Structure 1
Amino acid sequence: MESLEELSEDEAPKEHQVSSTLPWKLNTKEIRATKTHNYFTQTKRTENILVQVAFSVGLSSIWRFPYLCHRNGGGSFILMHFFMLLLFGIPLLYMEMIMGKWLRVDNIRVWKQLTPWLGGIGYASILVCIMVSLYNSIITTWSLSYLGNSFHHPLPWDQCTLVKNITVSDLSCLGTVSHQYFWYHTTLSASNHIEEGVKALVLNLSLGIFAVWFLVFLIMMTGLKMSTQMLVFSVFLPYILLLCFLIRGLFLEGVTTSLRRMVTTELSAWASLDLWRQAGGHVLYSLGLGMGTIILFSCKAGGDNYVQVASLVALVNLVTSLLATSVIFIVLGFWTTTSGHACVEQSVSKLMKLIDKGVLPQDAKPPEDILLLPTMDYLDWINNLPGYLQHQVIHFSPSCSIKAQKEKFMEGPGLAFAAFSQVVSLFPGASFWAILFFIALLIIGLNNLINILEGIVFPLQNSISVFKNYPRMLSEPGSKTALPAQDPGLGHLLQHPHLAANTSPPISSLVVPPGLHCPWFL
């Protein structure tokens, strides 16, 4: 008996010793598999952060924020937007990230799991995504239209386009900048009077919107995925271009006045509830809050420090908005400085040079005292010229506004397109810069559309039986990404009990249980 007890006592420590040393006896394949798993997780985490940053940098920061800022007084709107971003923008962004991380379900079921009677919020978010996608597709179509015109040399928005039956009372290059004229009459084919209504569809925009949706359809159906390098390119290219535009704009006339107006704050504006509403609405729109896209992004993201991620996304959004707004305000200051009487002086000087070179006949010579008269008298003189001379004078007129005084220029979404086309024209090799910039806008627009459509497609794919039976009808870009199962060392490592307890994330979460419906998780 004693010998058996001694034997059992001698064997027990040996077993304990063997089991305690097992975790340290990893072969080369297991170590390599551990590094592969950590690299895969870190790459996936970085990629998801880049996707969220790219979505935040989207068109809303480049074209929507500047025109809202210009329409609502500059500095006052910027401060309101900043406070709204801190008060509820970052907290709501963090909340949606946490919901997506811990619940691991789509934006319909997430609300049903939190509170069953809030399930309608998920369906409302899909409706919001549909409306925003239709809205953003129009902006992307405008970028595609400008991209097509960028291949012309010289750029078509640098000079007035000759039109039939032009009169002084109509919107023309005589009353506005040629870049604004190109936006209204060439891009939008807008009528001169609102009572004329819409006579026909604009062919280039109609074909453009079909092309945009066809591209999105191909990307969604084929499951194409942007690589990490492409994501980095789509994030940093707009910043590089905007910095180049800002540096070039600092050498224009009126830059000091325009930047001073941009940061000027009026205390009376703080009492406007409508201004607070617009600032808060833009925070929701630019960050994608309430649309379910943040929940889906977080569903596939790794890591726990969502406070830093939310702060980073909000900071990138704010910096992009301020950078684009600075460029547009500089262009507005340039238009203001060169409008009115200054534009008449520039026009007369250019006409005299063309007459001396023989490009224009002597009959196109302005009266000697034209600079002493009001600006409208210059327009009356042009209107009294013969038809052939009138068209030539209008065509060779510089890109400035004779009618506009102070800052009475266009407002609305087209302001960004007209302003950026003006900056592009100031660079040598303007066509190259135009192609590069509008390609960047097109990539951003398509990326945003795909991200928004993911918030529509995959909740429906989980909810509607038809889409469940035919998953290839709605395939998510990059959904085939998975852990490299062909490495035998990795599979052996995942089964090791001691490593499974100390691996982050837990090994049990590497395989999605049947109850979870996050389609991208690892």
Structure 2
Amino acid sequence: MTDNAGSGTGAQVEETRRGGFSSRRVFILAAVGSAVGLGNIWRFPYVAYENGGGAFILPYLVALLTAGIPFLLLDYGLGHRFRGSAPLSFARARKRIEGLGWWQVLICFFIAVYYAAVLAWALRYTFFSVNKAWGDDPEAFFFEDFLHLGDPGVAMEFTPGVLVPLLVVWVALIVIMALGVQRGIGTIAMIFIPILVIAFLALVVQALMLPGAGGGLNALFTPDWGALLEPGVWAAAFGQIFFSLSIGFGIMITYASYVKRKTDMSGSAMVVGFSNSGFELLAGIGVFAALGFMAQASGVAVGEVASDGIGLAFVAFPAIISEAPAGAVLGVLFFGSLVIAGLTSLISVLEVVISGVRDKFEMSRTTATLAVVIPTALVSLVLFSTTSGLYVLDIVDHFINQFGILAVAVISMLVLAWGVRLLPELARHLNHRGSIPLGRLWKVLVGVVAPVALLYVLIRQLITDISAPYEDYPAWMLATFGWGVVVGVVILAALASLAPWKSQTRLDLTEEEVR
């Protein structure tokens, strides 16, 4: 650690070097862009449908208020108070917990590797929608003609239809990330988040006008109050809130570090939290209105056509687009929305890695961007533009989300609350400029309620995956791309925390510097 003499000037130089958002509005748009991703569109509607329909809104709101927003405030407090990337913020809080920040950085690296592939698929399908290139069998087209999916395994046969759009995605990301926090991330958020809202509103309006839309909405919102007595429904609500808000794996810590010192962070958290949930509700309406049309056209119940994830986006929706009036417009709006939502989320994930590397090794913005994005892109291109890419993606996504993000979130909350007892300091910092006072209730929610709820979700999933192989994939694939990735992240995080900081990186900040 270096001496703090002349710290005011040092702090100004550091902020100039790292960059920052020009205003609170830009920060909120960027944070909303990170939170609103593919999961809002293709995961929330199905989770709600499967867990009580309209009744699910109650546990969902409880989870938002008791875990989601409190955890979001924890991330904001840590990043804004200690003015650094996830590793630097944890190191400045207490040097011995720096490894938690690198755990989050490595999780973001693996997410970026596969998330870009889904973004590339959505980009290609935006153009496919114009002439409905998938023909009469969208399922066969996606798995066979587009992905050329083979048997589970690692096949090094490249698929040009995936390789080209994936390469386009990574080139665009290099340019955006090299431009910096305001010119790159901030500008993209200011332009694309309003476009996303307008496009998705247009999609919802068109979906609501389809025949059978009412049946889909009835299926989604008809409450099953008995579901509220099932622990699994509450676990699903907490899991959905946690994954949809981009909390617990460094994104909001990093973004908060780019915000001006006098910003109202607690008020910003409420805006971001409720904006994200509002978009999820809007996505539910649009998706199930379209599924209602599909069910009526097929003469089946909505439950028979309802799905989530990749099946919803690249099989069910193309089938809907093929049958719907003005289907090409519906398709461009849907897949275009996926591209924008995926892009803003992927940018935030990459920024966690770039920011961590910049802070640790004192690199310039351009150097850090190239050092991070080029290797990430190469891994992504090698793994996910091949005939086995979908299998690897599914395994990595499942394990890194369930046992990477959830685990580090629970551990970081418990460490910050009980290990280093940092919550009172963060509460004072957030209250200094915040419009919503944080007191004992917030500390209880962050230190007890949220970690207990997420620990329950984690244990349930752990029991499930130990009792039976995930999706019956070969044991070697689960060991390599599943458990191996999870354990590897923890080991690499510990090793990264042992590397010394550059002498000019100041791990001590005065109270005056953070105010």
Task: Tell me the equivalent position of 2:309.
Answer: 413
Aligned to 1:37: none
- The aligned counterpart of 2:82 is 103
* Structure 1 letter corresponding to 2:115: N
Name which of 242, 252, 266 aligns with 1:307.
Answer: 266
Report the CA distance between 1:182 and its aligned residue: 4.4
Q: Which residue of 2 aligns with 1:451?
A: 348
Instruction: Note the C-alpha offset of 1:311.
Output: 0.8
Q: Contact conserved, 1:462 with 1:517, CA < 8 A, in 2?
A: no
Deviation track 1:307-338 (CA, whole Å, cap 9, x = no partner) reads: 22111111111111111111111122222222
Q: CA separation in 1, counterparts of 2:166 and 2:213?
A: 36
Secondary structure of the 2:303 match is: coil
SS at match of 2:247: coil
Structure 2 unaligned runs (5+)? 1-19, 371-431, 434-503
Alignment map for 1:335-484 (pairs within 5 Å): 335-340=294-299, 407-409=303-305, 411-414=307-310, 415-418=312-315, 420-421=317-318, 430-431=327-328, 434-435=331-332, 437-464=334-361, 468=362, 472-475=366-369
Relative to structure 1, is the Cα distance of residues 135 and 195 closer, same or farther in structure 2, using a 3 angstrom cutoff?
closer
Q: Is the 8 A contact 1:332 1:407 kept in 2?
A: no
Map of 2:167 onto structure 1: 210
Would the aligned equivalents of 1:56 and 1:316 in 2 still touch at CA under 8 Å?
Answer: no
C-alpha deviation, 1:88, in angstroms? 0.9
Q: Per-residue CA shift, 1:54-105, capped at 9, x if unaligned?
A: 2222222122322333444433444332221111100111121122222212
Q: What is the RMSD computed on CA atoms of the aligned residues? A: 3.7
CA contact (8 A) 1:144 1:438 kept: yes
Paired amino acid for 2:313: A
Residue in structure 2 matched with residue 136 of structure 1 by the alignment: 115
Aligned partner of 2:90: which letter?
W
Structure 1 residue 428, shift from structure 2 partner: 7.0
Aligned pair 1:287/2:273, yes or no?
no
Partner of 2:286: 327
Classify the secondary structure of the residue corresponding to 1:247. Answer: helix
Cα deviation 1:21-51 (Å, max 9, x = unaligned): xxxxxxxxxxxxxxxxxxxx99522211221
Larger Rg computed on CA atoms: 1
Query: What SS class does the counterpart of residue 108 from structure 1 fall into?
Result: helix
Once the 2 structures are TM-superposed, how far is the Cα of residue 434 of structure 1 from its aligned partner? 4.0
Find the aligned partners of 1:42 and 1:183 in 2 and give their Cα distance: 40
Q: Assess, with a 3 A threshold, how the Cα gap between structure 1 residues 406 and 222 changes in structure 2: closer, same or farther.
A: closer
Map Cα deviations across residues 2-25 of structure 1 (whole Å, 9 max, x no partner): xxxxxxxxxxxxxxxxxxxxxxxx
Give distance in 2, aligned partners of 1:130 and 1:109.
17
Give yes or no for the alignment of 1:298 onto 2:256.
yes
Secondary structure class of the residue paired with 1:265: coil
Output the TM-score relative to the length of structure 1. 0.60
Q: Which one of 133, 138, 160 corresponds to residue 156 of structure 1? A: 133
Identity across matched positions, percent = 26
Structure 1 residues 291-300 or 58-67, which shifts more?
Answer: 58-67
- SS of residue matched to 2:305: coil
Q: Secondary structure of 1:407's match?
A: helix
Deviation at 1:254, TM superposition (A): 2.5
Q: Structure 1 pair 335/181, CA: closer, same or farther in 2 (3 Å)?
A: farther
Q: 1:406 to 1:198 in 2, by over 3 A?
A: farther
User: Could you say if the C-alpha distance between residues 423 and 410 of structure 1 is closer, same or farther in structure 2, counting changes exceeding 3 Å?
Assistant: closer
Contact 2:49–2:219 (CA<8 Å) still a contact in 1?
no
**Structure 1 unaligned regions, length at least 5:** 1-40, 161-177, 341-403, 477-503, 506-512
- Cα distance, 1:296 vs structure 2: 1.6
In 1, Cα distance between the equivalents of 2:354 and 2:21?
27
CA distance in 1, matches of 2:156, 2:77: 50
Q: Is the 8 A contact 1:57 1:235 kept in 2?
A: no
Instruction: Give the equivalent residue in structure 1 for 2:464.
Output: none
Native 8 Å contact 1:62 1:321 kept in 2 = yes
Structure 1 equivalent of residue 199 of structure 2: 241
Partner of 1:53: 32
Paired residues in the alignment total 358
Partner deviation per Cα, 1:286-314 (whole Å, 9 max, x = no partner): 21111111112111213342222111111
Compare 414-423 and 314-323 and name the one that shifted more. Answer: 414-423
Looking at structure 1, the residues matched to 180 and 149 of structure 2 have their Cα atoms a distance apart, in angstroms, of 38
Amino acid at match of 1:409: V
* Deviation, structure 1 residue 426: 7.2
- Give the counterpart letter for 1:205 in structure 2: V
